[in-house]
Amino acid sequence: MGVPVDAATFRAAMARFPGAVTIVTTAGGGERRGITATAVCSVTADPPSLLVCLNRATGTCGMVAETGMFNVSLLAGDGGDTAMRFAGAGGVTGEAKFASGDWRTDARGLPILADAIVTFCCEVTEQVQAGSHSVFIGQIVGVRVCEGAALVYESARFHRLQPI
């Protein structure tokens, strides 16, 4: 085995790894929670499912664990302000994150962003603890796909996808 990688080196390397920018949302007890996440990926097509990694220190993670439900909204290329707000920029927390944007509610009462490129509605089937994060595997119970280019994050900056 090699020498363990320190956290700063790991973060610098992962900053070069482009990621789709999503907002993971949930709701329960009359409250909505949401967080920006790039740690989202498909798991399997049969049954359709994906995973999200959420920091256990966040209210979003706690509420997903409690309710067993979450939505993932893939942001459009102009969604940088939304991504920053849901990342907590400027100290924005809790319900205040939903103050702007066209937020709707799905059949389960969870928030979805109307202008998202893709929205996945998920029910938690598995949860695994991994360091500071919880990994939730969610079976997809609803999906909506729209036109547009997705927002990606790489080298500490937002980028719009362009065809080559």
- Class of domain 19-160 (CATH, top level): mainly beta
Angle at 71 between CA 61 and CA 15, to 5 degrees: 65
Report the helix count and the strand count for the chain, using DSSP H and E.
3, 12
Tell me the whole-structure pTM to 2 decimals.
0.94
> pLDDT tens digits, residue range 52-84?
999 999 999 999 999 999 999 999 999 999 999
pLDDT classification of 1: cutoffs 50, 70, 90: low
pLDDT classification of 11: cutoffs 50, 70, 90: confident
Which residues have a Cβ under 8 Å from the Cβ of 93 and sit 6 or more positions away?
59
Conformational region of residue 75, where left means phi above 0, alpha means psi within -120 to 50, and beta covers everything else = beta
> pLDDT tens digits, residue range 21-61?
999 999 999 999 999 999 999 999 999 999 999 999 999 99
Judged by DSSP in three states, 110 sits in: coil
HSE-up of residue 74 (Cα within 13 Å, Cβ side): 20
pLDDT classification of 152: cutoffs 50, 70, 90: very high
